[in-house]
Amino acid sequence: MGIKKHVIKSCRYLLMPVVRFVMRHGVTIAEFGELTKDAFVQVARQDYGIDGRPTNNARVAMLTGLSRREVAKVRDRLLEGDLPAEDSRGNRISRILTGWHIDTEFTDKDGQPKVLPATGSKGSWPSLLKRYAGDLPHGAIRKEMQQRALIEEQGDGSLRVLKRDYVFSGLDPESVNQLGIALHDHAATLEHNLNENHQATPRFERMADNASIKPSAYKAFQKLVEQRGLSFLEEMDGWLSEHEHDTKTDSAARTVRLGVGVYLIYDDSEQGSAS
C-alpha cells in the first residue's frame, strides 16, 4: 500500500468524530465540502508560495484539483471573510422554515406563517416541501420536523410551524469554538512531526492507551486523569505565566502561542485504531 493510501485511510478515521459532530448540528455534506475547499485553497496559497507571496490561482488549481474559476471564488471568499451562502447547499430544514416564514404563499396578510393543509396544491404542506425540500423524501422530512418539535399536527391533519430557526442544540458557542481549536492544535503537532520537508525539532506528542480494559474501570481512570491531568496543567500554566512577555512594555516583540493539552481516550467500538 502506497503512502497516499495510508494517508487517505488515516484521514477517513480522523474525520469520523468530526462528521459525527457536524451532522448532529445540521451541517450538510455540501456545506462541509465548501469548508474543505476553503482549507485546501488556504493551505495551497500559504504553504506553496514563492518568497513569502501567496500562490497564484493556476498553481493552486494544479495542487488542489479545483478549477481556476473555483479557486478564484474560494480565494475571494477567504479574503472577504464570508461564509458560504446557504442556498441549495444549506440545511434543507432551515430552508423550509425560512420559506414558511417569509414566502407570501405560506404567510398571511400580517406576515405570519399559515397553518398549512396536509394535502392540496398552492399554499399547502406539499407545495412548501416541493419548493424548499429539494429531492429529500417528504415523509422523512415531516417525521424529522415533528420529532424536533418544529411543527405540530392539528386535529384536521393540517400542520402548524412552531419555530423560526432550526437549532440542533443549545451548546455554548465558545465550547464549539474550543473543539476546533483543540483538534487543530493536536493535528498541527502531528502534521509537524510527519512533515519530512523540514528538519525542525519534533514536538512532544505521546499517548498511553490499552485496548483490553474492562468498561468498569472507566470511572476510576477518568478520576485519575482528572486529578493528575489537572495537576499537570496547573504546573504548565504556572510555567507559562512566568515566561509570559509583557506586551505593554514591548508591544513590537514577536510572540507565539505555546501550550500543551491533555485529553481522555475512550473507544468502545471494535475498531479502536485506524489499522
* pLDDT score, position 89: 30
* In the predicted structure, residue 87 carries a pLDDT above the cut 80: no
* In the predicted structure, residue 91 carries a pLDDT above the cut 70: no
* pLDDT score, position 218: 96
Fold of 92-161: Arc Repressor Mutant, subunit A (1.10.10)
DSSP string, 4-68: HHHHHHHHHHHHHHHHHHHHHTT--HHHHHHHHHHHHHHHHHHHS-STTPPPPHHHHHHHH---H
Residues 6+ apart with CB under 8 A from 101: 107, 113, 161, 164
Task: Give the span between the Cα atoms of 20 and 264, in whole angstroms.
Answer: 18
How many residues are there in the chain? 275
Residue with cell 469520523: 16
Mean pLDDT on 75-103:
70
Of 75-79, 89-93, 186-190, 220-224, where does mean pLDDT reach its minimum? 89-93
* pLDDT score, position 225: 95
CB 150 within 8 A of CB 163: yes
Q: Which pLDDT band, with edges at 50, 70 and 90, does 250 fall under?
A: confident
If DSSP codes are grouped into helix, strand and coil, which group holds residue 152? strand
Helix 29-47 crosses helix 57-64 at what angle (to 10 degrees)? 120
* In the predicted structure, residue 271 carries a pLDDT above the cut 70: no
Q: Which pLDDT band, with edges at 50, 70 and 90, does 86 fall under?
A: very low
**pLDDT tens figures, 100-154:** 988 899 999 988 999 999 998 899 999 999 988 877 888 888 988 998 889 999 9
Q: What is the dihedral of CA 116, 120, 121, 122, to 10 degrees?
A: -30
Task: Give the span between the Cα atoms of 37 and 13, in whole angstroms.
Answer: 20
**pLDDT tens figures, 168-183:** 555 666 677 788 888 9
Q: How far is CA 210 from CA 9, 152, 229, 272, in A?
A: 22, 48, 18, 10
If DSSP codes are grouped into helix, strand and coil, which group holds residue 159? strand
Partners of 116 in the β-ladder: 159
* pLDDT score, position 83: 45
Task: Give the span between the Cα atoms of 181 and 257, in whole angstroms.
Answer: 12
Of 16-25, 33-42, 84-93, 211-220, where does mean pLDDT reach its minimum? 84-93
* pLDDT score, position 41: 94
Domain boundaries, given as residue ranges, for the chain: 26-89, 92-161, 207-245+255-275
If DSSP codes are grouped into helix, strand and coil, which group holds residue 93? helix
